[in-house]
Protein backbone atom coordinates (compact mmCIF):
# COMPACT_ATOMS: atom_id res chain seq x y z
CA UNK A 1 0.00 0.00 0.00
CA UNK A 2 1.25 3.51 -0.76
CA UNK A 3 2.91 5.13 2.25
CA UNK A 4 3.00 8.93 2.63
CA UNK A 5 5.71 11.26 1.35
CA UNK A 6 9.19 11.01 2.83
CA UNK A 7 10.00 13.57 5.48
CA UNK A 8 13.27 15.46 5.09
CA UNK A 9 15.42 15.16 8.22
CA UNK A 10 18.30 17.65 8.53
CA UNK A 11 21.68 16.30 9.65
CA UNK A 12 22.75 17.02 13.18
CA UNK A 13 26.26 18.42 13.59
CA UNK A 14 28.78 15.81 14.73
CA UNK A 15 29.60 18.06 17.67
CA UNK A 16 26.50 16.66 19.35
CA UNK A 17 26.89 13.18 20.80
CA UNK A 18 23.81 11.06 21.32
CA UNK A 19 23.84 8.81 24.37
CA UNK A 20 22.17 5.39 24.04
CA UNK A 21 18.39 5.63 24.12
CA UNK A 22 16.65 4.28 27.18
CA UNK A 23 12.99 3.39 26.85
CA UNK A 24 10.41 1.90 29.17
CA UNK A 25 9.77 -1.70 28.19
CA UNK A 26 6.19 -2.69 29.06
CA UNK A 27 7.14 -6.36 29.03
CA UNK A 28 9.87 -5.99 31.65
CA UNK A 29 8.03 -3.08 33.33
CA UNK A 30 11.37 -1.26 33.52
CA UNK A 31 13.49 1.30 31.75
CA UNK A 32 15.93 -0.46 29.42
CA UNK A 33 18.73 0.88 27.28
CA UNK A 34 18.38 0.01 23.63
CA UNK A 35 21.71 -1.59 22.63
CA UNK A 36 23.67 0.40 20.07
CA UNK A 37 23.25 -1.21 16.67
CA UNK A 38 23.75 -0.39 13.00
CA UNK A 39 20.18 -1.42 12.19
CA UNK A 40 16.96 -1.31 14.19
CA UNK A 41 13.74 -3.08 13.23
CA UNK A 42 10.58 -1.34 14.37
CA UNK A 43 7.00 -2.49 13.91
CA UNK A 44 4.17 -0.17 14.89
CA UNK A 45 0.56 -1.33 14.73
CA UNK A 46 -1.46 0.83 12.39
CA UNK A 47 -5.05 1.96 12.30
CA UNK A 48 -8.25 0.15 11.53
CA UNK A 49 -9.46 2.63 8.92
CA UNK A 50 -12.49 4.27 10.47
CA UNK A 51 -12.47 7.34 12.75
CA UNK A 52 -9.01 8.36 11.53
CA UNK A 53 -7.02 10.29 12.63
CA UNK A 54 -7.98 11.26 16.15
CA UNK A 55 -5.51 12.75 18.60
CA UNK A 56 -4.92 9.41 20.29
CA UNK A 57 -3.64 8.03 16.98
CA UNK A 58 -1.53 11.13 16.46
CA UNK A 59 0.04 10.80 19.93
CA UNK A 60 0.94 7.16 19.28
CA UNK A 61 2.53 7.68 15.88
CA UNK A 62 4.35 10.75 17.12
CA UNK A 63 5.95 8.68 19.89
CA UNK A 64 7.46 6.23 17.44
CA UNK A 65 8.44 9.06 15.14
CA UNK A 66 10.59 10.45 17.97
CA UNK A 67 12.23 7.08 18.54
CA UNK A 68 12.99 6.73 14.84
CA UNK A 69 14.34 10.28 14.64
CA UNK A 70 16.63 9.65 17.61
CA UNK A 71 17.96 6.34 16.29
CA UNK A 72 18.54 7.80 12.82
CA UNK A 73 20.39 10.72 14.39
CA UNK A 74 22.80 8.21 15.96
CA UNK A 75 23.65 7.20 12.38
CA UNK A 76 21.74 3.91 12.52
CA UNK A 77 19.57 2.51 9.77
CA UNK A 78 15.97 2.10 10.91
CA UNK A 79 13.69 -0.39 9.22
CA UNK A 80 10.13 0.64 9.96
CA UNK A 81 6.94 -1.21 9.08
CA UNK A 82 3.33 -0.37 9.85
CA UNK A 83 0.15 -2.21 8.95
CA UNK A 84 -3.39 -1.13 8.19
CA UNK A 85 -6.11 -3.40 9.54
CA UNK A 86 -8.27 -2.99 6.47
CA UNK A 87 -10.10 -6.28 7.11
CA UNK A 88 -11.78 -6.31 10.51
CA UNK A 89 -15.16 -6.50 12.24
CA UNK A 90 -15.24 -2.89 13.51
CA UNK A 91 -14.70 -1.64 9.95
CA UNK A 92 -17.48 -3.86 8.58
CA UNK A 93 -19.82 -2.85 11.41
CA UNK A 94 -19.20 0.85 10.80
CA UNK A 95 -19.71 0.47 7.05
CA UNK A 96 -22.94 -1.44 7.72
CA UNK A 97 -24.20 1.18 10.19
CA UNK A 98 -23.51 4.02 7.75
CA UNK A 99 -24.73 2.09 4.70
CA UNK A 100 -21.44 2.50 2.83
CA UNK A 101 -19.09 0.05 1.17
CA UNK A 102 -16.45 -1.10 3.68
CA UNK A 103 -13.70 -0.86 1.06
CA UNK A 104 -14.63 2.72 0.13
CA UNK A 105 -14.84 3.66 3.82
CA UNK A 106 -11.41 2.10 4.48
CA UNK A 107 -9.79 3.80 1.48
CA UNK A 108 -11.14 7.23 2.42
CA UNK A 109 -9.92 6.90 6.02
CA UNK A 110 -6.49 5.65 4.95
CA UNK A 111 -6.19 8.70 2.68
CA UNK A 112 -7.10 11.00 5.56
CA UNK A 113 -4.56 9.26 7.78
CA UNK A 114 -1.77 9.67 5.22
CA UNK A 115 -2.56 13.37 4.88
CA UNK A 116 -2.62 13.86 8.66
CA UNK A 117 0.69 12.05 9.17
CA UNK A 118 2.25 14.15 6.44
CA UNK A 119 0.92 17.38 7.96
CA UNK A 120 2.23 16.34 11.38
CA UNK A 121 5.64 15.66 9.85
CA UNK A 122 5.66 12.00 10.88
CA UNK A 123 8.28 9.84 9.16
CA UNK A 124 6.52 7.33 6.89
CA UNK A 125 7.08 3.58 7.26
CA UNK A 126 9.31 1.89 4.67
CA UNK A 127 6.48 -0.57 4.18
CA UNK A 128 2.87 0.40 4.80
CA UNK A 129 0.93 -2.81 4.45
CA UNK A 130 -2.77 -3.58 4.36
CA UNK A 131 -3.99 -7.00 5.43
CA UNK A 132 -5.82 -7.53 2.14
CA UNK A 133 -2.59 -7.14 0.15
CA UNK A 134 -0.65 -9.27 2.66
CA UNK A 135 -3.12 -12.16 2.50
CA UNK A 136 -0.69 -14.76 1.06
CA UNK A 137 1.72 -14.00 3.94
CA UNK A 138 -1.02 -14.24 6.52
CA UNK A 139 -2.20 -17.56 5.08
CA UNK A 140 1.41 -18.85 5.23
CA UNK A 141 1.64 -17.75 8.85
CA UNK A 142 -1.55 -19.62 9.75
CA UNK A 143 -0.17 -22.70 7.95
CA UNK A 144 3.02 -22.42 10.05
CA UNK A 145 0.96 -22.39 13.24
CA UNK A 146 -0.82 -25.50 11.91
CA UNK A 147 2.55 -27.19 11.35
CA UNK A 148 3.48 -26.41 14.95
CA UNK A 149 0.24 -28.08 16.04
CA UNK A 150 -0.80 -24.91 17.82
CA UNK A 151 -4.25 -24.52 16.23
CA UNK A 152 -7.65 -26.23 16.37
CA UNK A 153 -11.09 -25.75 14.88
CA UNK A 154 -14.37 -24.66 16.44
CA UNK A 155 -17.23 -24.90 13.93
CA UNK A 156 -14.84 -24.21 11.07
CA UNK A 157 -13.09 -21.25 12.75
CA UNK A 158 -9.42 -21.77 13.51
CA UNK A 159 -8.01 -20.85 16.92
CA UNK A 160 -4.44 -20.44 18.16
CA UNK A 161 -3.66 -22.17 21.44
CA UNK A 162 -2.15 -19.27 23.31
CA UNK A 163 -0.33 -21.56 25.74
CA UNK A 164 1.58 -23.11 22.83
CA UNK A 165 3.89 -20.21 23.70
CA UNK A 166 5.26 -21.03 27.16
CA UNK A 167 5.79 -17.31 27.75
CA UNK A 168 2.19 -16.34 27.02
CA UNK A 169 1.09 -13.62 29.43
CA UNK A 170 4.58 -12.54 30.47
CA UNK A 171 4.47 -9.41 28.32
CA UNK A 172 1.23 -7.99 29.68
CA UNK A 173 1.34 -9.09 33.35
CA UNK A 174 -2.40 -9.57 33.81
CA UNK A 175 -4.05 -12.02 36.13
CA UNK A 176 -6.44 -14.41 34.46
CA UNK A 177 -9.65 -12.60 35.42
CA UNK A 178 -8.39 -9.22 34.19
CA UNK A 179 -7.09 -10.86 31.02
CA UNK A 180 -10.50 -12.42 30.37
CA UNK A 181 -12.32 -9.16 31.01
CA UNK A 182 -10.07 -7.10 28.72
CA UNK A 183 -10.08 -9.84 26.08
CA UNK A 184 -13.91 -9.67 25.95
CA UNK A 185 -13.86 -5.85 25.80
CA UNK A 186 -11.36 -5.76 22.96
CA UNK A 187 -12.87 -8.10 20.40
CA UNK A 188 -12.10 -11.48 22.01
CA UNK A 189 -14.63 -14.29 22.53
CA UNK A 190 -13.77 -15.93 25.88
CA UNK A 191 -17.28 -17.38 26.26
CA UNK A 192 -17.48 -19.30 23.00
CA UNK A 193 -18.37 -22.95 23.46
CA UNK A 194 -15.85 -25.44 22.15
CA UNK A 195 -12.73 -23.40 22.85
CA UNK A 196 -9.95 -25.27 24.65
CA UNK A 197 -8.95 -22.16 26.61
CA UNK A 198 -11.08 -19.01 26.83
CA UNK A 199 -8.14 -16.80 25.79
CA UNK A 200 -7.31 -18.77 22.63
CA UNK A 201 -7.29 -16.38 19.68
CA UNK A 202 -9.01 -16.60 16.30
CA UNK A 203 -6.52 -16.85 13.46
CA UNK A 204 -8.89 -17.74 10.61
CA UNK A 205 -12.63 -17.18 10.41
CA UNK A 206 -14.62 -19.27 8.04
CA UNK A 207 -16.55 -17.38 5.30
CA UNK A 208 -19.55 -15.33 6.37
CA UNK A 209 -22.21 -13.79 4.13
CA UNK A 210 -21.60 -10.20 2.95
CA UNK A 211 -17.98 -10.28 4.16
CA UNK A 212 -14.84 -10.55 2.05
CA UNK A 213 -13.28 -13.96 1.84
CA UNK A 214 -10.05 -15.48 0.59
CA UNK A 215 -9.33 -19.05 -0.50
CA UNK A 216 -6.73 -21.02 1.46
CA UNK A 217 -5.66 -24.63 1.88
CA UNK A 218 -7.64 -24.67 5.14
CA UNK A 219 -10.83 -23.29 3.62
CA UNK A 220 -12.21 -19.94 2.50
CA UNK A 221 -12.33 -17.19 5.06
CA UNK A 222 -10.42 -14.26 6.48
CA UNK A 223 -7.76 -13.81 9.15
CA UNK A 224 -8.13 -12.81 12.78
CA UNK A 225 -6.57 -9.55 13.88
CA UNK A 226 -3.41 -10.63 15.72
CA UNK A 227 -1.98 -12.96 13.09
CA UNK A 228 -1.77 -10.17 10.52
CA UNK A 229 0.80 -8.27 12.56
CA UNK A 230 2.94 -11.35 13.25
CA UNK A 231 2.92 -12.18 9.53
CA UNK A 232 3.57 -8.66 8.22
CA UNK A 233 6.30 -7.89 10.77
CA UNK A 234 8.19 -11.13 10.22
CA UNK A 235 8.09 -10.77 6.45
CA UNK A 236 8.76 -7.09 5.90
CA UNK A 237 11.26 -6.47 8.68
CA UNK A 238 13.35 -9.45 7.59
CA UNK A 239 14.63 -10.39 11.04
CA UNK A 240 18.30 -11.20 11.15
CA UNK A 241 18.90 -14.91 11.73
CA UNK A 242 21.66 -14.22 14.24
CA UNK A 243 19.62 -11.84 16.35
CA UNK A 244 18.20 -13.09 19.62
CA UNK A 245 14.88 -11.34 18.84
CA UNK A 246 12.86 -11.01 15.64
CA UNK A 247 12.41 -7.24 16.11
CA UNK A 248 13.87 -4.49 18.22
CA UNK A 249 10.65 -2.65 19.00
CA UNK A 250 6.99 -3.62 18.83
CA UNK A 251 4.88 -0.55 19.46
CA UNK A 252 1.43 0.93 19.63
CA UNK A 253 -1.06 2.55 21.97
CA UNK A 254 -1.34 1.16 25.50
CA UNK A 255 -4.74 -0.35 24.60
CA UNK A 256 -2.88 -2.78 22.33
CA UNK A 257 -0.74 -4.24 25.10
CA UNK A 258 -3.37 -6.90 25.68
CA UNK A 259 -4.57 -8.89 23.93
CA UNK A 260 -3.16 -7.67 20.61
CA UNK A 261 0.56 -7.47 21.32
CA UNK A 262 0.58 -10.46 23.63
CA UNK A 263 -1.14 -12.57 20.97
CA UNK A 264 0.97 -11.36 18.03
CA UNK A 265 4.12 -11.98 20.05
CA UNK A 266 2.99 -15.45 21.14
CA UNK A 267 2.09 -16.45 17.57
CA UNK A 268 5.38 -15.14 16.25
CA UNK A 269 7.36 -16.93 18.98
CA UNK A 270 5.66 -20.23 18.10
CA UNK A 271 6.41 -19.69 14.39
CA UNK A 272 10.05 -18.67 14.74
CA UNK A 273 11.13 -20.30 18.00
CA UNK A 274 12.50 -16.99 19.31
CA UNK A 275 11.08 -14.00 21.17
CA UNK A 276 9.24 -11.49 18.99
CA UNK A 277 10.48 -8.08 20.19
CA UNK A 278 13.31 -6.94 22.42
CA UNK A 279 11.32 -3.94 23.55
CA UNK A 280 7.57 -3.37 23.83
CA UNK A 281 6.79 0.33 23.81
CA UNK A 282 3.33 1.72 24.50
CA UNK A 283 2.01 5.25 24.23
CA UNK A 284 -0.64 6.63 26.61
CA UNK A 285 -4.18 7.57 25.66
CA UNK A 286 -5.50 11.09 25.06
CA UNK A 287 -8.73 12.20 26.74
CA UNK A 288 -10.85 15.30 26.21
CA UNK A 289 -11.84 17.78 28.93
CA UNK A 290 -11.53 15.21 31.70
CA UNK A 291 -13.20 12.31 29.88
CA UNK A 292 -11.89 9.35 27.96
CA UNK A 293 -11.86 10.09 24.22
CA UNK A 294 -13.71 7.31 22.45
CA UNK A 295 -15.93 6.61 19.51
CA UNK A 296 -18.74 5.46 21.81
CA UNK A 297 -18.73 8.80 23.68
CA UNK A 298 -18.60 10.61 20.34
CA UNK A 299 -15.94 13.04 21.59
CA UNK A 300 -13.06 12.22 19.26
CA UNK A 301 -10.96 15.19 18.19
CA UNK A 302 -9.68 14.77 14.65
CA UNK A 303 -6.37 16.08 13.36
CA UNK A 304 -7.82 16.92 9.94
CA UNK A 305 -10.62 18.98 11.53
CA UNK A 306 -8.19 21.02 13.62
CA UNK A 307 -6.00 21.66 10.59
CA UNK A 308 -8.99 22.63 8.44
CA UNK A 309 -9.89 25.14 11.17
CA UNK A 310 -6.50 26.75 10.60
CA UNK A 311 -4.51 25.18 13.44
CA UNK A 312 -0.81 24.92 12.62
CA UNK A 313 0.04 21.16 12.65
CA UNK A 314 3.19 22.06 14.58
CA UNK A 315 1.00 23.39 17.40
CA UNK A 316 -0.70 19.96 17.56
CA UNK A 317 2.74 18.40 17.59
CA UNK A 318 3.89 20.75 20.37
CA UNK A 319 0.80 19.96 22.46
CA UNK A 320 1.36 16.21 22.15
CA UNK A 321 5.06 16.59 22.92
CA UNK A 322 4.30 18.64 26.02
CA UNK A 323 3.54 15.53 28.11
CA UNK A 324 5.17 12.20 28.93
CA UNK A 325 4.40 9.80 26.09
CA UNK A 326 3.56 6.89 28.38
CA UNK A 327 1.06 8.75 30.50
CA UNK A 328 -2.55 9.33 29.59
CA UNK A 329 -3.18 13.02 29.03
CA UNK A 330 -6.07 15.40 28.56
CA UNK A 331 -6.72 17.57 25.54
CA UNK A 332 -8.61 20.83 25.89
CA UNK A 333 -9.03 24.15 24.16
CA UNK A 334 -6.56 25.59 26.64
CA UNK A 335 -3.90 22.99 25.81
CA UNK A 336 -4.27 23.83 22.13
CA UNK A 337 -4.21 27.61 22.71
CA UNK A 338 -1.07 27.40 24.85
CA UNK A 339 0.62 25.32 22.18
CA UNK A 340 -0.33 27.71 19.40
CA UNK A 341 1.14 30.58 21.41
CA UNK A 342 4.30 28.60 22.17
CA UNK A 343 4.86 27.73 18.51
CA UNK A 344 4.31 31.35 17.40
CA UNK A 345 6.73 32.49 20.06
CA UNK A 346 9.32 29.92 18.96
CA UNK A 347 8.99 31.06 15.38
CA UNK A 348 9.59 34.69 16.38
CA UNK A 349 12.64 33.80 18.46
CA UNK A 350 14.19 31.55 15.83
CA UNK A 351 13.90 34.43 13.34
CA UNK A 352 16.00 36.78 15.50
CA UNK A 353 19.54 37.77 14.53
CA UNK A 354 20.80 37.48 18.12
CA UNK A 355 19.69 34.54 20.22
CA UNK A 356 20.75 32.97 23.50
CA UNK A 357 23.41 30.22 23.31
CA UNK A 358 22.06 27.17 21.48
CA UNK A 359 24.65 24.38 21.86
CA UNK A 360 23.64 23.82 25.44
CA UNK A 361 19.95 23.78 24.48
CA UNK A 362 20.51 21.15 21.79
CA UNK A 363 22.63 19.04 24.18
CA UNK A 364 19.95 19.23 26.87
CA UNK A 365 17.19 18.29 24.43
CA UNK A 366 19.22 15.27 23.32
CA UNK A 367 19.75 14.35 26.98
CA UNK A 368 16.04 14.63 27.75
CA UNK A 369 15.06 12.51 24.75
CA UNK A 370 17.63 9.85 25.61
CA UNK A 371 15.90 9.37 28.97
CA UNK A 372 12.69 7.66 27.87
CA UNK A 373 11.75 10.46 25.46
CA UNK A 374 11.28 13.16 28.05
CA UNK A 375 9.79 15.64 25.58
CA UNK A 376 8.15 17.61 28.35
CA UNK A 377 11.62 18.47 29.69
CA UNK A 378 12.88 19.16 26.16
CA UNK A 379 10.14 21.76 25.66
CA UNK A 380 10.90 23.32 29.07
CA UNK A 381 14.53 23.72 27.98
CA UNK A 382 13.31 25.39 24.81
CA UNK A 383 11.00 27.72 26.75
CA UNK A 384 13.89 28.81 28.98
CA UNK A 385 15.95 29.52 25.86
CA UNK A 386 13.11 31.71 24.58
CA UNK A 387 13.03 33.57 27.94
CA UNK A 388 16.78 34.21 27.72
CA UNK A 389 16.60 35.27 24.08
CA UNK A 390 13.77 37.67 24.83
CA UNK A 391 15.82 39.06 27.72
CA UNK A 392 18.55 39.96 25.21
CA UNK A 393 21.03 37.08 25.60
CA UNK A 394 23.23 36.37 22.59
CA UNK A 395 25.87 33.97 21.28
CA UNK A 396 23.62 31.26 19.81
CA UNK A 397 23.00 29.98 16.32
CA UNK A 398 19.27 30.10 15.58
CA UNK A 399 19.64 28.26 12.28
CA UNK A 400 21.38 25.34 13.94
CA UNK A 401 18.79 25.14 16.72
CA UNK A 402 16.00 25.29 14.17
CA UNK A 403 17.51 22.36 12.23
CA UNK A 404 18.09 20.37 15.43
CA UNK A 405 14.46 20.84 16.48
CA UNK A 406 13.43 19.48 13.11
CA UNK A 407 15.87 16.53 13.33
CA UNK A 408 15.06 15.52 16.89
CA UNK A 409 11.54 16.70 17.64
CA UNK A 410 10.09 16.98 14.15
CA UNK A 411 9.21 20.61 14.79
CA UNK A 412 9.67 22.22 11.39
CA UNK A 413 8.73 25.89 11.26
ZN1 LIG B 1 -0.80 -4.99 15.30
List pLDDT tens digits, range 145-185. Answer: 999 999 999 999 999 999 999 999 999 999 999 999 999 99
pLDDT value for 296: 78
> Which run of H or of E encompasses 252?
strand 247-253
Angle at 60 between CA 294 and CA 383, to 5 degrees: 110
The CA 256 to ligand 1 mean position distance, Å, reads: 8
pLDDT value for 4: 97
The CA 265 to ligand 1 mean position distance, Å, reads: 10
Beta bridge partners of 30: 25
Packing angle, helices 359-370 and 398-409, rounded to 10 = 10
pLDDT value for 402: 98
The CA 10 to ligand 1 mean position distance, Å, reads: 30
The CA 184 to ligand 1 mean position distance, Å, reads: 18
Residue 329 in this model has a pLDDT that exceeds 90: yes
The CA 253 to ligand 1 mean position distance, Å, reads: 10
pTM higher than 0.95: yes
Ion ligand 1 nearby residues (CB, 5 A): 45, 229
The CA 280 to ligand 1 mean position distance, Å, reads: 12
Whether 164 contacts 106, CB under 8 Å: no
Which band of pLDDT confidence, cut at 50, 70 and 90, is reported for residue 57? very high
Distance CA 347, CA 363 (A): 20
Whether 257 contacts 195, CB under 8 Å: no
Distances (CA, A) of 109 to 50, 85, 134, 304: 6, 12, 19, 11
pLDDT, averaged across the chain: 96
pLDDT value for 399: 98
pLDDT value for 59: 97
pLDDT value for 210: 77
The CA 225 to ligand 1 mean position distance, Å, reads: 7
The CA 211 to ligand 1 mean position distance, Å, reads: 21
The CA 261 to ligand 1 mean position distance, Å, reads: 7
Beta bridge partners of 371: 22
Least confident of 2-16, 69-83, 203-217, 362-376: 203-217
The CA 232 to ligand 1 mean position distance, Å, reads: 9
Name which residue leads in pLDDT, 92 or 66: 66
The CA 309 to ligand 1 mean position distance, Å, reads: 32
pLDDT value for 343: 98
**Tens-digit pLDDT profile for residues 284-319:** 999 999 888 887 788 999 999 999 999 999 999 999
The CA 84 to ligand 1 mean position distance, Å, reads: 8
The CA 262 to ligand 1 mean position distance, Å, reads: 10
> Which residues 6+ apart lie within 8 Å of 411 measured at CB?
121, 314, 317, 318, 321, 343, 346, 405
The CA 233 to ligand 1 mean position distance, Å, reads: 9
The CA 213 to ligand 1 mean position distance, Å, reads: 20
The CA 378 to ligand 1 mean position distance, Å, reads: 30
The CA 382 to ligand 1 mean position distance, Å, reads: 35
109-125 average pLDDT score: 97
The CA 74 to ligand 1 mean position distance, Å, reads: 27
**Could you report how far apart the first and last alpha carbons of the chain are, in Å?**
30
The CA 40 to ligand 1 mean position distance, Å, reads: 18
pLDDT value for 88: 87
203-207 average pLDDT score: 95
The CA 138 to ligand 1 mean position distance, Å, reads: 13
Amino acid sequence: MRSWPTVYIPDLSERFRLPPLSLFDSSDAALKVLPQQDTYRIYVCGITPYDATHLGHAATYLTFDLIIRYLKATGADVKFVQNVTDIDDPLFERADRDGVDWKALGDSQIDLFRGDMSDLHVIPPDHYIGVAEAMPLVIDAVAKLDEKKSTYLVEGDKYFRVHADPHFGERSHLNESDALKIFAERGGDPQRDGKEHPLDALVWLTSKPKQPTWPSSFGSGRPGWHIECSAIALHYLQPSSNSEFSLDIQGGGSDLMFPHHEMSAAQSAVMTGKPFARHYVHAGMIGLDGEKMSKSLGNLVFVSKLISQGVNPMAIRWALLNRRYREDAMWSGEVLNDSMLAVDRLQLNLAKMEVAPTDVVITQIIGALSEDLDTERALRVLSSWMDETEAGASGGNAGELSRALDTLLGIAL
